[in-house]
């Protein structure tokens, strides 16, 4: 089973929130979500956020700040979710 830290990004521009719709045939397909994904080995939160946002949206962000931190461990999936 994969181990990983899951990150999500809250992106607000001109009072608009960026959300993405998950691809239908994937985990939780069809649901709306914030851009995010799994940190790679040795990657810090800032670099992970930049990479995931670019991979999912094509947007390049600079100097992401930590606005809110939420940690939830899913023992069955052996994952830690950080928002």
Q: Residue 37: helix, strand or coil by DSSP?
A: strand
Query: Does 75 map to a domain?
Result: no
60 or 64, which is more confident? 60
Q: How confident is the model at residue 75 (pLDDT cuts 50, 70, 90)?
A: confident
CATH number of residue 21's parent domain: 3.90.79.10
Angle at 81 between CA 34 and CA 30, to 5 degrees: 40
Query: Does 82 map to a domain?
Result: no
Alpha carbons within 13 angstroms on the beta-carbon side of residue 68 total 7
Q: Is the pLDDT of residue 70 over 80?
A: no
Q: Is the pLDDT of residue 1 over 50?
A: no
Q: Is the pLDDT of residue 5 over 50?
A: yes
d(CA 69, CA 31): 22
pLDDT at 82: 67
pLDDT at 50: 95
Query: Does 79 map to a domain?
Result: no
Residue 40: domain span: 4-70
Query: Does 23 map to a domain?
Result: yes
What total number of domains does the chain contain? 1
């Amino acid at each position: 089973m994969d181990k990983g830290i899951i990150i999500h990004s809250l992106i607000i521009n001109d009072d608009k929130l960026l959300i993405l719709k998950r691809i239908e045939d994937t985990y939780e397909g069809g649901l709306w979500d914030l851009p995010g994904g799994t940190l790679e080995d040795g990657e810090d939160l800032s670099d992970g956020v930049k990479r995931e946002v670019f991979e999912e949206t094509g947007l390049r962000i600079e100097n992401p700040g930590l606005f809110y931190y939420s940690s939830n461990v899913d023992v069955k999936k052996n994952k830690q979710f950080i928002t």
